[in-house]
Structure 1
Amino acid sequence: MMSLLPHEPRILDTARQQVLTERCLLPELPALRALFLHLRGGIDATLGQRQPLKLGKPYPLGCCAEISLALQQALRELDPAQLPPAAIAGHAALARFQAAGGTSRRVWGYQRGRGMRHALLVGTLLIDAAQDSSAAGLPPVALTPFAQAGLAPVRDHRHFALLAGTDWQAHVYPNHVLPALAPYAPLVALVPGGSVRLEADAPYMLALARRDGFSSSAAVLAMPSMTAALFGAVADVLAQAGFTVAPDALQGKAAALDLCRQYRDAGARTADARHQATMTALARANEALQVLRVAAQSAG
């Protein structure tokens, strides 16, 4: 069986995890819900003040990733002695589950009708502690059997681009500006209320590009280029930040596709070092691009 990509919403040993879930977790669902509602209350007190708005929307809308990360940290730092009585049994159930070999990890994928979602996969139970980040009025915490939750892996970069257009109302173009990063970050996204970004820097998408021999990246890099004006604006910012940019979209496209072929043919020989260097450069590029703000009502 193919190994898991980072945060991939898939269970490797379903039969064993189902037994442990039924034995340890399902009898304590009300207490587990109480535990995650308690943790979410603490997260809201911090994140709600730190980030009251995201892309023009009030917290917690659009903050699925931030809440999910904060939940992981809260679980690691949890002091059971400080829990309210209703949540104590939930924490004890989690401890028994993990001691018996149960798995728990953060996952990211596509959920029909709700777009890209971050959640916690505990055994065969999907715990969405940011359900209200997708629509106001939803309960903040949902505990759903993974088989019924409908959370699926993002298929490729074309799928990611479609989801970004739907979820973020983003305009997405191939990355012909910065060919050196294009095999791993083959898209340029303009997010209303946010900034221009090279995508996709999610660990899952970076690993997907590498695993598939960069065919996913090449497919979107073959799409029509952005306008010359937009290309020039992005290229100017990146050049000022010290990056080597393409002289124009046509040459950038050719160079990006050629690098995809080179990386595919090189295989695993230099992949690890290149992967780490790319992630560092990608973070620096996106930090520089934050100066290119996108109007809240239009992605240009």
Structure 2
Amino acid sequence: MIYHVLIEPFVDYGFMRRALVACLALSLSTAPLGIFLLLRRMSLVGDALSHAILPGVAVGYLLAGMSLVAMGIGGFVAGVLVALISGLVSAHTKLKEDASFAGFYLGSLALGVTLISLRGSSVDLLHLLFGSILAIDSPATVFVGIIASVTLLLLALLYRGFVMETFDRTFLRVNSRLTPHLLHGVFLALLVLNLVAGFQILGTLMSVGLMMLPAVSARCWAKTLPGTMAIAVLCGLFCAWLGLAWSFYAALPAGPAIVLTASGAFFVSILFGSRSGLAWSLYRGGLLISKGVK
């Protein structure tokens, strides 16, 4: 039964194998980034940047059609520009970084949709907004794998710096050659790079789902940073596999199915996680109320 449901589709169909490999690679690299976003209280910044890459993707589409390389380069440039401009605005005005991101990403989203509409059809627009994971080809899978590998390598090399920059910037300034601004810039560049990889799979609107939902779920269970990252990665891998499997049998869009599966894991973690335990809290509250009534 387990073989038939969870393994057989990936053995019999090449497009399912490519989709699974791309999702697994993306889960390995995006889950640790999601943890750092969560710890920095920048969870919605990832969502903002996933929208901000759309104008660059649209420009690449207008110039080269459905070329993954052109759209990827365009999306990366657009995302980095929005991140840099938002940082400058927050540094020289009274606006905080999340407010400046919100202002720029809304305009970027509208501009991207407008540019795509100039030449493309509604099918092209839906492809870019929501992805087409089951149509991913071998070059796109290699592209995602390279980005995941580069991300993991840089995270391993700069792990201590990222941790210090997240928790204590003053300590980082005193005890490291790396400045907080440099590390923050590298982190945002990695974030944009992974969102560019994710738009081909889940689209620009939902690529952040595989980044943040496993990370939030892991925070409900683990107390240490390495443990949280490990659980987030495993959760992302499991949700990608399960989401693809049930979308295959239920004839549902694969991208939304993966994000819905991750959302289900999030709700289960909130209810039963060792660090959240909402179900136990509600149960104890009900007992206290019942005893009070008696």
Q: TM-score, normalization: structure 2?
A: 0.28
Higher-helix-fraction structure: 2
Higher relative contact order (CA 8 A, sep 6+): 2
